[in-house]
Amino acid sequence: MRIEHLINGKRVTGRDYFETVNPATQEVLAEVAGGGEEEVQAAVAAAKAAFPPWAATPAPQRARLMRRLGELIAADVAQLSHTETQDTGQPIAQTGKQLVPRAADNFHYFAEMCVRVDGHTYPTETHLNYTLFHPVGVCALISPWNVPFMTATWKVAPCLAFGNTAVLKMSELSPLTAARLGELALEAGIPPGVLNVVHGFGRQAGEPLVRHPDVRAISFTGSTATGNRIVREAGLKKFSMELGGKSPFVIFEDADFERALDAAVFMIFSNNGERCTAGSRILVQQSIYREFARRFVERANRLSLGDPLDDKTIIGPMISPAHLAKVRGYIELGAREGATLLCGGLEAPAVPERVRKGNYVAPTVFGDVDNRMKIAQDEIFGPVACLIPFTDEPEAIRIANDTAYGLSSYVWTENIGRAHRVAAAIEAGMCFVNSQNVRDLRQPFGGTKASGTGREGGTWSYEVFLEPKNVALSL
Ligand code: NAD
């Protein structure tokens, strides 16, 4: 199978092709068109030409098209999640029940929102000030390889619904479902050129896109290193940067132990641990630490690891051999740094014959981790948990904040005052109290410090996809 670029509603062949590989089997799934300067120029030109008529399309009509696209995705969940699972190794139970259905929700939600964009008025004795919100123009949307379809639609939906046009560049490691998204958008009746999809590698396709002078806004999700590079390359553009994380999951001795345990397991091991909001540093109060560690390891050892297409599988393979080597490198480092390996480790886990060539690593738990160790500071982006004991509330806050990152955080306590105090004190874009990460599409999603800048979701998406203009009328 060959996957081509989608530019101005047409399939455009590549000058070269790269392979996308099933991380569970190493089978080549497709040859994908490689993009560079030339394809980016063509895609941006198409998006620029499509912008004026699309921006002038009445919002209710754009909303109808967004809803139609949402319906097409919802009708295609089985096929899309199968493809997403093959391309990423994310278990089908998660792509089929959560991630792909949420992509359809993104279009339904922003269909509702785009007809409700309102403004502000600031009347004075002499002037009537009011705001208009205009679409920005051509937007560059860049996605990572983990949960690629959900992330792409989280960008495409507000971008298009608010009247912008887009060039979408997916990760070279997982481009398949986005290619299908481009086709579904055309099928829904979205005019050619409004959504263009260019495939390729970061340096070849991503960099010319973010540098392009006709690109007015960048919505980027990916690593902190790439985010920093893009900010340097982009020049004066609007941008939102959704970057890496090393989120603290703080459990006090008065927490609901069983619920906290369930959520802690979920937040580090779901999506293969390849999750930006993973609760990868689990801070546990000293008095319950030993019991928690024992139960957590028991649960980690019971997680079924295997063929991601099997709906009983909880943990699938890492995205690529290179990423597997990185995760294994951190496991090796953890032992050298003096953390206690409680389960998992470097031994190749047993998996079914069909997926024996997969990039598997066993769910791994390190105990007695010192927060200054590299395994506690760096984003590992795999199923590797660090358990860190703490004595009291001030120490929990200090450790939680002793990180370059600030994406998500989790606090477990039955003490209501403490819940509010700690939630306020943690330096992160999001804090979930007595809860795992539950996404409400209205909430501001994003991080602080090295986890990024800007927020998306609900009216927060105005920040990147709409340009406010003040009109002052003399009375
Ligand atoms: P990455 O930064 O390597 O790549 C992300 C995307 O950027 C890819 O499409 C890549 O081709 C492109 N790219 C690379 N170099 C580029 C350049 N110079 N110019 C333009 N584009 C370029 O990240 P990844 O390894 O694909 O994804 C994993 C990272 O994403 C993790 O750090 C994870 O935490 C983060 N992430 C963050 C969120 C969030 O919402 N904060 C969500 C998911 C993933």
pLDDT in tens, 195-218: 999 999 999 999 999 999 999 999
Average pLDDT over the chain reads 97
Q: What is the pTM of this model?
A: 0.97
Backbone angles phi, psi at 471, to 5 degrees: -110, 125
Q: Assess whether 252 and 239 both reside in one domain.
A: no
449 pLDDT above the threshold of 90:
yes
Q: Which amino acids are annotated catalytic?
A: 242
123 pLDDT above the threshold of 90:
yes
Number of domains in the chain: 2
How far apart, in whole angstroms, are the C-alpha atoms of residue 296 and residue 88?
26
Cα 333 to ligand 1 centroid, rounded to whole Å: 24
Q: Assess whether 357 and 316 both reside in one domain.
A: yes
Which helix or strand (DSSP H or E) is residue 178 part of?
A: helix 176-188
Query: What is the end-to-end Cα distance of the chain in Å, rounded?
Result: 65
Cα 142 to ligand 1 centroid, rounded to whole Å: 8
Q: Assess whether 372 and 399 both reside in one domain.
A: yes
Displacement of CA 205 from its chain's centroid (Å)? 20
Cα 226 to ligand 1 centroid, rounded to whole Å: 6
80 lines ligand 1 (CB under 6 A): no
Residue nearest to atom 41 of ligand 1 (CA): 242
Residue nearest to atom 30 of ligand 1 (CA): 222
Q: Indicate the SS3 state at residue 20.
A: strand
243 lines ligand 1 (CB under 6 A): yes
Q: Assess whether 458 and 429 both reside in one domain.
A: no
Residue (of 319, 110, 100) closest to 223 by Cα position: 319
Query: pLDDT (tens digit, 9 = 90+) per residue, 286-326?
Result: 999 999 999 999 999 999 999 999 999 999 999 999 999 99
157-178: average pLDDT: 97
How far apart, in whole angstroms, are the C-alpha atoms of residue 110 and residue 406?
27
Residue (of 64, 76, 82) closest to 101 by Cα position: 76
Q: What is the CATH number of the domain that holds 364?
A: 3.40.309.10
What angle, rounded to 10 degrees, do the helices at 416-425 and 393-401 form? 30
15 pLDDT above the threshold of 90:
no
**Per-residue buried b or exposed e for 424-452, using 16+ beta carbons within 10 Å of the residue's own CB:** ebbbbbbbbbeebbeeebeeebbbebbbb
96 lines ligand 1 (CB under 6 A): no
* Structural domain range at position 334: 248-433
For residue 231, what are its two tokens?
A: 């900010």
- For residue 23, the 8-state DSSP code is T
239 lines ligand 1 (CB under 6 A): no
76 pLDDT above the threshold of 90:
yes
Cα 19 to ligand 1 centroid, rounded to whole Å: 19
pLDDT at position 159: 98
368-393: average pLDDT: 98
453-464: average pLDDT: 95
Which ipTM was obtained for this model? 0.97
Residues 6+ away with beta carbon under 8 Å from 229: none
Are the beta carbons of 409 and 428 closer than 8 angstroms? Answer: yes
100 pLDDT above the threshold of 90:
yes
Q: Count CA within 13 A, CB hemisphere, residue 143.
A: 29
Q: Assess whether 405 and 425 both reside in one domain.
A: yes
229 lines ligand 1 (CB under 6 A): yes
Q: Assess whether 222 and 287 both reside in one domain.
A: no
240 lines ligand 1 (CB under 6 A): no
How far apart, in whole angstroms, are the C-alpha atoms of residue 177 and residue 160?
18
Q: Assess whether 267 and 224 both reside in one domain.
A: no
DSSP strand pairing (195-197 vs 215-221): unpaired
The residue whose CB lies within 8 Å of the most ligand 1 atoms, and thus the one to mutate among 215, 223, 231, 456, is: 223
**Residue 440 located in a structural domain:** no
206 lines ligand 1 (CB under 6 A): yes
Backbone angles phi, psi at 463, to 5 degrees: -50, -40
How far apart, in whole angstroms, are the C-alpha atoms of residue 256 and residue 341?
26
How far apart, in whole angstroms, are the C-alpha atoms of residue 196 and residue 183?
10
Are the beta carbons of 211 and 217 closer than 8 angstroms? Answer: no
**Residue 205 located in a structural domain:** yes
26 pLDDT above the threshold of 90:
yes
Ligand 1 closest atom vs CA 276: 34
**Residue 438 located in a structural domain:** no
68 lines ligand 1 (CB under 6 A): no
Q: How many CB atoms lie within 10 A of CB 139?
A: 29
pLDDT at position 199: 98
Ligand 1 closest atom vs CA 172: 11
- For residue 202, the 8-state DSSP code is I
How far apart, in whole angstroms, are the C-alpha atoms of residue 104 and residue 150?
9
Query: pLDDT (tens digit, 9 = 90+) per residue, 339-372?
Result: 999 999 999 999 999 999 999 999 999 999 999 9
Ligand 1 closest atom vs CA 145: 26
Residue nearest to atom 34 of ligand 1 (CA): 244
Query: pLDDT (tens digit, 9 = 90+) per residue, 220-233?
Result: 999 999 999 999 99
Are the beta carbons of 188 and 65 closer than 8 angstroms? Answer: yes
